[in-house]
Structure 1
């Protein structure tokens, strides 16, 4: 790895590589803290798999290049990339993870400010050539199809073994709930097949939340991980923000957050209505995400990022998270 990192940094005025240390990871990729003669860098090695063809490196580097202009200082600066080696160098951000218990409105406001900076009229012009986000959805029917595929994939893909019994039972309950929810959302939606107008779409960091943020010593938040970013429905961003598992955002902030996000668009009431309609849809999605560790490709991604992880412990933890979300779903 040291030789590949040296190659990545060869054209940069950072001097010789002094040390390379792996950072703790619970995600999809490997990140290294690289100390060179002149500065400290973050080098990210991106996961590659034959069953997952997404260009994680290109997406993140491209989005961060855009964010450096639209919202300078809010995210790490992109510095260098090597597509052949699936490596990229970024500004190293010093900071600590936020715990759910310490989340306050000031932190949520920082996330709103970042989103709004990415979605000013000038920023949207800068981003006109950026691709859609991973799993972007631009109609209510599209959202339902996306989450429906996840539910069906779990139902068909988790082996029915003794070790998987809790996950299999939960997926059966989830599928029953999903069938009823999808029907209700489809009936409630106005023109569910109509695509969202470009003016109502947003530049989304995707996987947006405090699990992908660091709090610096000066109390400023910096946001990380943009490998799924791009153009998307703001209602999807809202649904993901409030359903993500690692650092849950208090539900009491939902209405204020949605109103602030919606204010960036020409029809804010439509954004608010769609975000409320799709909120339980994205809670189901995150139940599915929690259970992805029972699927081979997703498990391989976790093992790539953290080769020493205990599979059984991880899977038990993820079932508990999925059960917690499932129990919080609204009664139909």
Structure 2
């Protein structure tokens, strides 16, 4: 059961208490499916960000605050500095970043900036406090875990109402057959190499991952540099999942050439310390793509947050659902174009 959203008056009160200074005003900055952010105008000093985390059974506040504390302690300045938190009020106070939503005005060098930040994160893998960080949300440490996550999401979506024949046609005629081919290829490749697809990835080969990362969670400073927000899912993960999710994330909508450049730059960085990285990338990329298709289609589930978010935007929900289906189709097509063997014959 989610906690009710807080008002601007609540934000002023909580912000004053957490900062130990007078807040002159609070303005809603942006809303998301999982949180609400206020820009706090301070009576003295620069503005601050107050973030409210509705409760859904996961400690998003703790995960993000711990992650940003770790990054700030080790000199990362492109993420907000944490200031104070109040778990009882589901709120935390952070440095405020000015800037425009990067996803609204993408630039040619965005893929390089995304890759540079992720590579910088890996320099902290052995830093003080790194081993105490949690696993990333929906982390994957073996191919079989990825397959299980896909099947779990697929089973959930199969329970969508029968009144969506276009959804059923896409899933049964395109997504499921191509993903079945990808899973067979994965298992065959592992068998050829004598590898166990159920074996966990060694800690030495795991990566620090924001888990939900891309232009959709980036602000562009006046000098063009990106700053990154929303680290509620940060933690340890397979670098192949990190690379795949960043390239595939529908929120970023990276052009094909930018996504390919990001994959190439990050692959070069991770391959240097992990001989099996390229093998995992080649067999897991289409599977992670299928998972993203299912995430996009979650809006068809009556109880899903994404459906509630679409409904809150107003307009005809049927039209909005059709838009999500079209997005999933385009993502699936891009995955099959990358590996033509996945196209069912």
* TM band (smaller chain): 0.7 to 0.9
Counterpart secondary structure, 2:329: helix
Query: Is 2:77 the partner of 1:77?
Result: no
Counterpart secondary structure, 2:276: helix
Matches within 5 A, 1:29-178: 29-38=35-44, 39-49=46-56, 53-99=57-103, 102-104=106-108, 106-120=109-123, 123-156=126-159, 158-161=160-163, 164-173=164-173, 174-178=175-179
Q: Encode CA deviations 1:133-155: one digit per residue, 9 max, x unaligned.
A: 11111111111111221122111
Call closer, same or farther: CA 1:68–1:97 in 2, change over 3 Å.
Answer: same
Counterpart secondary structure, 1:94: coil
| Separation in structure 1 between the aligned mates of residue 281 and residue 130 of structure 2, nearest angstrom | 23
Call closer, same or farther: CA 1:88–1:307 in 2, change over 3 Å.
Answer: farther
Call closer, same or farther: CA 1:2–1:21 in 2, change over 3 Å.
Answer: closer
**2:298 maps to which of 287, 292, 297:** 292
| Separation in structure 1 between the aligned mates of residue 121 and residue 103 of structure 2, nearest angstrom | 25
Q: Which moved more, 1:145-154 or 1:182-191?
A: 182-191
Instruction: Report the number of matched residues.
Output: 323
**1:199 maps to which of 204, 210, 216:** 204
Counterpart secondary structure, 1:74: coil
**2:24 maps to which of 1, 4, 18:** 18
| Separation in structure 1 between the aligned mates of residue 280 and residue 104 of structure 2, nearest angstrom | 26
Can you give the 5+ residue segments of structure 1 that lack an aligned partner in the other structure?
none
Counterpart secondary structure, 2:138: coil
| Separation in structure 1 between the aligned mates of residue 75 and residue 166 of structure 2, nearest angstrom | 44
- Higher RCO by CA contacts (8 Å cutoff, separation 6 or greater): 1
Call closer, same or farther: CA 1:150–1:71 in 2, change over 3 Å.
Answer: farther
Q: CA deviation at 1:241?
A: 0.7
Call closer, same or farther: CA 1:167–1:45 in 2, change over 3 Å.
Answer: farther
Can you give the 5+ residue segments of structure 2 that lack an aligned partner in the other structure?
1-6
Counterpart secondary structure, 1:34: strand
Q: Is the 8 A contact 1:290 1:322 kept in 2?
A: yes
Q: CA deviation at 1:300?
A: 6.7
Q: Is the 8 A contact 2:49 2:93 kept in 1?
A: yes
**1:274 maps to which of 263, 273, 280:** 280
Q: CA deviation at 1:131?
A: 0.7
Q: CA deviation at 1:251?
A: 3.2
RMSD (Å), alpha carbons: 2.5
Q: CA deviation at 1:101?
A: 7.1
Counterpart secondary structure, 2:281: helix
Q: Is the 8 A contact 1:57 1:227 kept in 2?
A: yes
Q: Which moved more, 1:110-119 or 1:219-228?
A: 110-119
Counterpart secondary structure, 1:102: coil
Q: Which residue of 1 aligns with 2:222?
A: 217
| Separation in structure 2 between the aligned mates of residue 213 and residue 46 of structure 1, nearest angstrom | 19
Call closer, same or farther: CA 1:254–1:107 in 2, change over 3 Å.
Answer: closer
Moved segments of 4+, more than 6 Å = none
| Separation in structure 2 between the aligned mates of residue 210 and residue 299 of structure 1, nearest angstrom | 21
Q: CA deviation at 1:250?
A: 3.1
Q: Which moved more, 1:280-289 or 1:38-47?
A: 38-47
Q: Which moved more, 1:136-145 or 1:116-125?
A: 116-125
| Separation in structure 2 between the aligned mates of residue 311 and residue 29 of structure 1, nearest angstrom | 25
